[in-house]
Amino acid sequence: HGPYQLHEPGYGLDQPEYSPYEDEIPDPQARMLAIKNAKAYLLKTSTKSGLNLYDHFANILTKILDEQPTNAVDIIENISKDVKCAQFRKKMDTLRDEYQIPPTSEAAEKCKALFVKEHGEEEEELDEEMGQPTLPNVMETAFYFEQAGVGLSKDESYYILLALKNLINVQPIQTCRFWGKILGLEMNYIIAEVQLQEGEEEEETGEEGEETVEEGEKEMGEAEEDEQKEKEAEPPKSTYKPPPEIPKEANGTGTNKYTYFVCNEPGKPWVKLPPVTPAQIVCARKIKKFFTGRLDAPVVSFPPFPGNEANYLRAQIARISAGTHVSPTGFYQFENADNDEEEGADAYEENPEFEPPPVAEMVESLATWAHHVKSILKQGRCVWINPSQKSEENEEEEEEDEEGEEQQEERGPPLLTLISEDEGMKDIPAWTAQASTNLIPEYSVAILQSNRWPGAYAFASGSKFENIYFGWGHKYSPENHIPELPPPAQAEFPSGPGITETVDPTVEEEMAFKAAQEEALAAAEEGEDDEGEDD
């Protein structure tokens, strides 16, 4: 009700000592009593929550006046609920609250080392280092792959760029490249493909050789002790001869042409992966395991994998690189055109006379792409080796065995083979090429996707190209993966009269055999007595 008008009976009640209707003014004592009763009712405490309506209204009005929300009448119910919930929160606690680090602060703390410069390093030196050819331009590569909807976020790409910069500052690296990212169940792997400076790989090989010599000396000493123990009682020796072990390829060649460093997140230390062996590649083709993100995790599978997750990761990297690393046809050429394919297998160089084909041609024809990484043979090597070759001393002794064990030399496709010759999987082609956009074809980029290794991509724009991988590290299979069955149980030894158990004799046969023995013994004693009398 608004202010009272002159003709209304309530006019003048708010003005002291003035009222045109004195006879209609209520008794002030009764009015104060009614007000006290109403306030007492509002102050009545609830038996459930322990609150009263008077304080609740006061808190609601205080909250509304402090915050002054828009359209308070529409949210009065929510404000009442918030005020009531605030009454049940403890304002003080005898124990200190545990400080929880926000996820953003924790992520920033991990990447803090990437942004800290070393002592004495100036911005000019940083700019010079950023221009070195050994440091890859990850941001430019991410930009091109972004045109096809492939890649990481800009922040993560920049963190990886800084992590690669730290790796180059620590390790003697000649060339460095961001290989890709393999996903894991617990953590992921960020992989850097590097080529060490000349002399570093030889030193590593020398250290491995020294360790091998020391291990050989220990084994020789243990063998001498075992021989002395076996002289007393030699058990029967087994005639089984295990198949010869296929040696791994030397560092800088074949499957070990490059060295790989991995880390779980940018900012964490880089870990160098060991060289891969043919046995690991052969076994990796027979199993399918998800990565956990821990390099020391065991690989439980059948057939048993010879190594831990670090070796399995290195084997998968070698397989993916051999099958998916491609380049525009003609970008690389053999150093000596007169050499055979085998002699110049790994020796290729950039073609200075290369003319990049248009994007439309690279999308329509797969003959414009070629493999620049040598394929891996069934043996687990890029270059076949005869495992039956032995030293000159053993050749004369085992010539007959070698004649029956000779293996046929295995040959794979030559280097720089066109991807149009790759076999598909049933009705699925091995590769799919497409342009990044059809709206502006003059500025589009040719994108190549591998269907055999999902997650492997390549782009080409003019004379620029790059390969990258984002996936689980598994090869595509049109059918479900069927693990290899264990070998059948060994057959029982053939039974014959020499090992067959005889039937137990009866009591009559035992008594007859005992009587015959007694008669023979008595006859022998009589013969001895007769000879003594004759003498």
- Dump pLDDT digits (tens) for 328-364: 999 999 877 554 444 445 678 899 999 999 999 999 9
Q: Which long-range contacts (CB under 8 A, 24 or more apart) does 110-113 make?
A: 110/265, 110/267, 110/268, 111/159, 111/266, 111/267, 112/267, 113/166, 113/267
Do residues 348 and 296 make contact, with C-beta atoms less than 8 angstroms apart?
no
Q: Where are the domains of the chain?
A: 52-86, 323-337+346-384+411-471
What's the whole-model pTM score?
Answer: 0.69
Residue 266: how many CA atoms within 13 Å on its side-chain side? Answer: 22
**DSSP for 321-344?**
HHHH-EEETTSEEES-TTS-TTTT
Looking at per-residue pLDDT, the higher value among 239 and 77 belongs to: 77
CA-closest candidate to residue 166, choices 140, 192, 198: 192
> What is the predicted pLDDT for the residue at 294?
95
Distances (CA, A) of 469 to 30, 145, 274: 88, 11, 20
Q: What is the pLDDT of residue 338?
A: 53
CA distance 102 to 98: 12
Q: Tell which residue, 76, 483, 427, has the closest CA to residue 304.
A: 483
- CA 290 – CA 281 distance, rounded (Å): 16
The answer to whether the CB of 144 falls within 8 A of the CB of 437 is no
Structure token digits, residue 324: 């998916």
H/E stretch holding 142: helix 138-146
Q: Give 94-141 pLDDT, tens digit per residue.
A: 666 667 778 888 878 878 888 877 554 444 444 444 445 478 899 999
Distance from C-alpha of 515 to C-alpha of 525, rounded to nearest angstrom:
15
Q: 292-302 in b/e burial notation, b at 16+ Cβ within 10 A?
A: ebebebebebe
Beta-carbon contacts of residue 373 (< 8 Å; ≥ 6 apart): 321, 322, 325, 415
The two tokens of residue 140 are 């430019």
| pLDDT for residue 313 is more than 60 | yes
Q: Are 254 and 276 in contact (CB under 8 A)?
A: no
